[in-house]
Amino acid sequence: MNYAGPFAEIEENRVATIKEQLSVELKDAMKAKDVNRRDVIRMIESEVSLAKSAAGFKGEVNDDLYRQVIASYSKKMDKARAEYLELGPRGEEMARKLGWEVDYLSRWLPAKLDQESTEALVRETIAELGVAGDPKAAGRVIGQIMKTHKDDVDGGLVNRLVAAALSES
């Protein structure tokens, strides 16, 4: 049998689930003594276990749950990274580690619109709703964007861009 990379043990002609991919990645990280990759995968598995055992959890452990957990974890780590960066040189190492984790996990998340595309979407939504120059309409604009493009945009970025666009109009 030819070795076809870390996913060789997953059946041919079938897309591996995120759980299967993480399992293979974990084994590979342990063999390679890649502590960062091993730790972040274990943390995701731990977060999935917590989500499964949470009160009110109904459903199954599938790619959607893994994406939700990975997105939540990435968002927390990105926020923590920003806080470490504010510490200056003392927080650089930890910020670098958290940035690596977010980048590593991004492969399992849907791609988000970049800042330029998000700005265009904000301008378009403001024009569509006819609320230019009305900072009180920020909630309506953000709500409309998140309702139609929730998986495509970064909520924090949308919030900042809407506030800026409505205050300058």
**Would you say residue 13 lies in a domain?**
no
Which amino acid does the sequence have at 32? A
User: How does 94-104 read in b/e, with b if 16+ C-beta sit within 10 Å?
Assistant: ebeebbebbee
Query: What pTM was computed for the model?
Result: 0.72
Are residues 140 and 89 part of one domain?
no
Kind and range of the H or E run holding 156: helix 155-168
- Are 28 and 104 part of one and the same domain? yes
Give the best-scoring range by mean pLDDT among 1-5, 36-40, 159-163: 36-40
Q: Which domain holds residue 92?
A: 18-108
Reported as a pLDDT band with limits 50, 70 and 90, residue 3 is very low
Phi, psi of 136, deg, nearest 5 = -70, -15
Residues 101 and 123 in one domain: no
For residues 95 and 154, state if they share a domain: no
Q: Which amino acid is at 102?
A: V
- Residue 90, domain CATH: 1.10.1510
Is the pLDDT at 98 greater than 70, yes or no? Answer: yes
Which two tokens mark 99?
Answer: 């940035």
Question: DSSP string spanning 32-64?
Answer: TT-HHHHHHHHHHHHHHHHHHHSTT--S--SHH
Split into its structural domains, the chain has a count of 2
Say yes or no: 90 and 158 in one domain.
no
- Mean pLDDT calculated for residue range 77-97: 94
Listed residue (169, 78, 104, 96) closest to 132, CA to CA: 169
Question: Model confidence at 126, in pLDDT bands (50, 70, 90)?
Answer: very high
Counting residues of the chain whose pLDDT is more than 70, the rounded percentage is 91
Residue 4 has pLDDT above 70, yes or no: no
Q: Are residues 104 and 132 located together in one domain of the fold?
A: no
Predicted pLDDT at 6: 55
Q: Are residues 44 and 98 in the same domain?
A: yes
Give how far the C-alpha of residue 109 lies from the chain's centroid of Cα atoms, to the nearest Å.
6
Same domain (yes/no): 29, 100: yes
Do 96 and 143 fall into the same domain?
no
Among 19-28, 37-46, 53-62, which stretch is predicted with the lowest mean pLDDT? 53-62
Residue 154, token pair as written in the block: 């970064």
Which pLDDT belongs to residue 17? Answer: 92
Residue-wise pLDDT tens digits, 6-32: 555 555 557 789 999 999 999 999 999
**Residue 61 pLDDT greater than 50, yes or no:** yes
Whether 65 contacts 48, CB under 8 Å: yes
Residues 24 and 85 grouped into a single domain: yes
Please compute the mean of the pLDDT values over residues 133-162 and round it to a whole number: 90
Residue 42: count other Cβ atoms within 10 Å of its Cβ: 14
- Of 108, 130, 153, which marks where a domain is finished? 108
